[in-house]
Amino acid sequence: MHTTDVLIIGAGISGLLCATELKQAGHSVRLLDKGRGLGGRMATRRMAGGRLDHGAQYFTVRDARFQKYVTTWFEAGVIQEWFRRLPEDTSPGGHPRYCGINGMTDAPKFLARDLEVHSSQQVTELSRDTGLWIARTATGDSFLAKHLVITAPLPQALNLLDTTGLRYANGSTEALRAVRYERGLATLAILDGPSGLPEPGGIKVPEGVLTWIADNQQKGISPEVTAVTLHANPEFSDRHWDSDDAVRGPIMLKAAEPFLQSKVADYSCHRWGFTKPINPWPEPYFQNPGLQLTLAGDSFGGVRIEGAALSGIQAADAVLANLAPH
């Protein structure tokens, strides 16, 4: 493999925006992601003729640096406004909640078109030699770069960095290790008729094992089939993390019954090991300039997609300050 200026581990929204900014500044960038797809929790999957967002459900924008991208996506027909208010919202007005035209993966896929992204590449070992980072993957490949950016969840990033034997944390090891995430369970269900959910097709569930129910047909991404996404609360997710789908799925579906008017024809469950960061790092990124190392992502930006996006954008600025100009 030829050496790139920057190697980014993690092709979620943070890594993709970091790569975009760096490429626009004239640097060579490569991204690695262990998944078959990309986008991290901006995830969409097909099931029994339906299409379902099973991770993040929508995103908002308040910062001009992210708005620049959102405007481009909107004008290109990549994203749409889903809603401004939910039925239970009591505040007047509201601001746009966006989703992809075909699902939440649309924006990440749009970004990735102009980037060098290698999927299904799980990094198993990191090292440094003669001023270069070397990432070795489970497939036996090696990737070299002058600067390393990791946007994977911080616990995963630190496990990788521990393989180097380097003192990489500038005295912040314990504080970095203290960042924790909630785990999450999603159940995806195909219904035999309309869901009956009120417009716009998404409701927050105030009590019980569920926190969220969404109708992907009303959302506009599953036009042919009624497909609903159920999200469980963190306590239920922890309790049933190792349960069979045949156990946890029916419990979640039973909890959704009062809200749905049609029967379940098929269902599937999905586990999210890292959903919301409970105590994100107080700064938008972490950098060790001497090692040419930067950490970013929702571990730094917080729960909202915009936070992760801004972490990637600001991390790119820090990398540019650390790299020698072309």
At 90, the pLDDT band (50, 70, 90 cuts) reads confident
Rounded Cα–Cα distance for residues 325 and 321 (Å): 9
pLDDT at 1 over 70: no
> 151-184 as b/e, with b when 16 or more CB fall inside 10 Å?
bbbbebbbebbeebeeebbeeeeeebeebebbeb
Task: Determine contact, residues 79/107, Cβ cutoff 8 Å.
Answer: yes
Rounded Cα–Cα distance for residues 154 and 301 (Å): 12
Task: Determine contact, residues 51/222, Cβ cutoff 8 Å.
Answer: yes
Question: Is 184-272 a domain of CATH 3.90.660.10?
Answer: yes
Q: What is the pLDDT of residues 58-70, one digit of tens each?
A: 999 999 999 999 9
What's the pLDDT at 60?
96
At 324, the pLDDT band (50, 70, 90 cuts) reads confident
pLDDT at 314 over 70: yes
Q: What is the pLDDT of residues 2-53, one digit of tens each?
A: 899 999 999 999 999 999 999 999 999 999 999 998 999 999 999 999 999 9
Q: What is the pLDDT of residues 235-292, one digit of tens each?
A: 999 999 999 999 999 999 999 999 999 999 999 999 999 999 999 999 999 999 999 9
What's the pLDDT at 88?
81
pTM of structure: 0.96
- What is the CB neighbour count within 10 angstroms for residue 78? 19
Task: Determine contact, residues 302/60, Cβ cutoff 8 Å.
Answer: no
What's the pLDDT at 92?
72
Q: What is the pLDDT of residues 167-197, one digit of tens each?
A: 999 999 999 999 999 999 999 999 999 999 9
* Average pLDDT of the residues in 151-158: 96
- What is the CB neighbour count within 10 angstroms for residue 313? 23
At 214, the pLDDT band (50, 70, 90 cuts) reads very high
Task: Determine contact, residues 73/59, Cβ cutoff 8 Å.
Answer: no
At 98, the pLDDT band (50, 70, 90 cuts) reads very high
What's the pLDDT at 326?
58
- Mean pLDDT of all residues in the chain? 96
Going by C-alpha positions, the residue among 104, 106, 15 that lies closest to residue 54 is 104
Rounded Cα–Cα distance for residues 233 and 209 (Å): 6
Q: Angle, nearest 10°, between helix axes 13-24 and 305-322? A: 40
Task: Determine contact, residues 103/44, Cβ cutoff 8 Å.
Answer: yes
What's the pLDDT at 295?
98
Fold held by 4-46+58-180+279-322:
FAD/NAD(P)-binding domain (3.50.50)
Task: Determine contact, residues 116/48, Cβ cutoff 8 Å.
Answer: no
What's the pLDDT at 325?
66
What's the pLDDT at 267?
98
Which residues contact residue 81 at a Cβ distance below 8 angstroms, ignoring those fewer than 6 apart?
96, 97, 98
What's the pLDDT at 253?
98
Instruction: Report domain extents, the chain.
Output: 4-46+58-180+279-322, 184-272
Q: Collapsing DSSP states into helix, strand and coil, what is residue 167?
A: coil
Which residues contact residue 57 at a Cβ distance below 8 angstroms, ignoring those fewer than 6 apart?
99, 104, 202, 212, 214, 229
Rounded Cα–Cα distance for residues 259 and 180 (Å): 32
Q: Tokens representing 222?
A: 């599953």
